[in-house]
Homo-oligomer: A and B are copies of this chain.
């Protein structure tokens, strides 16, 4: 066991996550119920979109060779064979030196390969004069230019967004195969931890961690079961863990604040199966007490007990892990963007540091303001709309420097 008792850089934690396998099993869902789920297969278009050659301007559908070399001084003369509305089609093949008047969005007749804009023509009885040549395909959206039949419109491992839903429905696909929901078991630990409904006297702290995380993860589409609060007791913790390991794909504990509880957690995991705890602390602030383990293929994440650290570590480590288990290709934590910082800020002893922050909108500029607070405060997480990251080895930033910002809502629905 000893050799695994390592405190590692966050890269190692992500390396651990990268090796986890996606859960097995899928569901066939109505596309309209699939937002934020992960596609379980490459989805192939069964039709072309738009499905017909479509004019992108108001003008005349023509055969481009017929207007080759047309100019103001030597216009091409074409016979106008008719005019169609947007919902009409010309039944015949467009012949040589013929033109069909078409609206924007209208269907090109067979034979036509381009559209002359109405501004480049002049009506002359049954004829038009065309003053400008068009290249083949000009002012036309090809029938398979938006989507070609047989092409992939949704990749395996992509998270489904509202744009995919619209696209699939347009293609007439109303069902989609998605990875089944990942099941998460949550255990709170600590003699001092009580349920939120209870009256608090020293040294009690109410368990906000597993309750708020459950609410949040359910909103993200995970199936979450809470196993209550374990005392600082090896047997009690182990038996809750066993239940969670049996019923879920991943088990998450919210550690108590004392060092003793972490020891119980490690011992319990290691007593259940192999290889047990693999990462015993991550060199990030906050979140150093974060633990990762694997028990007979079942991942375990131990998050720090303090609410602010807990929520931050959940964003930084747990959600990427859950996205990986859900089969998402693009599971890694990614910054929303890089923004100018509105204050000086310093890292914790050169360690990789995350700080709750909020964006400020100042005269068209978007800045990010770190919320200064004492370690242990809970309220800043409610004020923040995200957090910044100071990489390992960087001592801090001065006002005006660009910093990575991670929005709370990013990485959730996209």
| Interface residues, chain A, with chain B CB atoms under 8 Å away | 31-36, 47, 49-52, 54, 56, 85-89, 105, 107, 141, 145-147, 153-154, 161-174, 191-192, 196-200, 202-203, 205-209, 211-216, 219, 257-258, 307, 311, 334-339, 359, 361, 364-366, 374-386, 405, 407-414
Beyond A163-B311, A382-B161, whether A172 also contacts B198 by CB under 8 A is yes
Residues of B within 8 A of A364 (CB): 338
Name A307's contact: one of B170, B191, B202, B410 (CB within 8 Å): B170
Complex contact B311–A166 (CB within 8 A) = yes
Please give the distance in Å from A65's CB to the nearest CB on chain B: 23
Closest residue on chain B to residue A315 by CB atoms: B162
Beyond A87-B192, A145-B377, whether A212 also contacts B382 by CB under 8 A is no
Complex contact A203–B88 (CB within 8 A) = yes
Residues of B within 8 A of A174 (CB): 196-197
Instruction: Determine the main DSSP class of A at the interface with B.
Output: loop
Residues of B within 8 A of A203 (CB): 86-89, 107
Complex contact A382–B54 (CB within 8 A) = no
Complex contact B165–A208 (CB within 8 A) = yes
Beyond A32-B211, A170-B307, whether A163 also contacts B384 by CB under 8 A is yes
Residues of B within 8 A of A378 (CB): 49, 146-147, 166-167, 170
Residues of B within 8 A of A153 (CB): 379, 382
**14 A-B pairs with C-beta separation under 8 A:** A36-B219, A50-B376, A51-B202, A145-B374, A161-B385, A162-B215, A166-B311, A166-B382, A167-B307, A169-B207, A169-B212, A336-B337, A337-B359, A408-B414
Complex contact A146–B379 (CB within 8 A) = yes
Beyond A169-B206, A211-B165, A337-B366, whether A87 also contacts B383 by CB under 8 A is no
Distance A203 CA – B52 CA, assembled complex (angstroms):
9
Copy tally for this chain in the complex stands at 2
Residues of B within 8 A of A414 (CB): 385-386, 407-409
Please give the distance in Å from A245's CB to the nearest CB on chain B: 24
Residues of B within 8 A of A408 (CB): 161-163, 413-414
Complex contact A212–B409 (CB within 8 A) = no
Please give the distance in Å from A321's CB to the nearest CB on chain B: 17
Please give the distance in Å from A371's CB to the nearest CB on chain B: 11
Given contact pairs A107-B203, A167-B379, A170-B205, enumerate 12 new A-B contacts (beta carbons under 8 Å).
A86-B257, A105-B376, A107-B202, A146-B378, A161-B382, A162-B212, A162-B381, A163-B382, A165-B211, A167-B307, A335-B361, A338-B366
Distance A185 CA – B77 CA, assembled complex (angstroms):
52
Q: Kindly list the 10 A-B residue pairs having the minimum CB-CB distance in the complex, ordered from nearest.
A: A163-B382, A163-B381, A409-B413, A169-B208, A337-B337, A87-B203, A166-B208, A169-B196, A166-B212, A165-B212
Name A381's contact: one of B166, B213, B338 (CB within 8 Å): B166
Residues of B within 8 A of A211 (CB): 31-32, 165, 169
- Among A88, A105, A163, A338, the one with the most B-chain Cβ atoms within 10 Å of its Cβ is A163
Distance A242 CA – B337 CA, assembled complex (angstroms):
45
Residues of B within 8 A of A146 (CB): 376-379
- Among A50, A161, A170, A381, the one with the most B-chain Cβ atoms within 10 Å of its Cβ is A170
Residues of B within 8 A of A361 (CB): 334-335
Residues of B within 8 A of A214 (CB): 32
- Among A161, A171, A412, the one with the most B-chain Cβ atoms within 10 Å of its Cβ is A161
Closest residue on chain B to residue A381 by CB atoms: B163
Residues of B within 8 A of A36 (CB): 219
Please give the distance in Å from A113's CB to the nearest CB on chain B: 16
Complex contact A167–B381 (CB within 8 A) = yes
Distance A85 CA – B141 CA, assembled complex (angstroms):
73
Beyond A197-B174, A374-B56, A376-B50, whether A336 also contacts B407 by CB under 8 A is yes
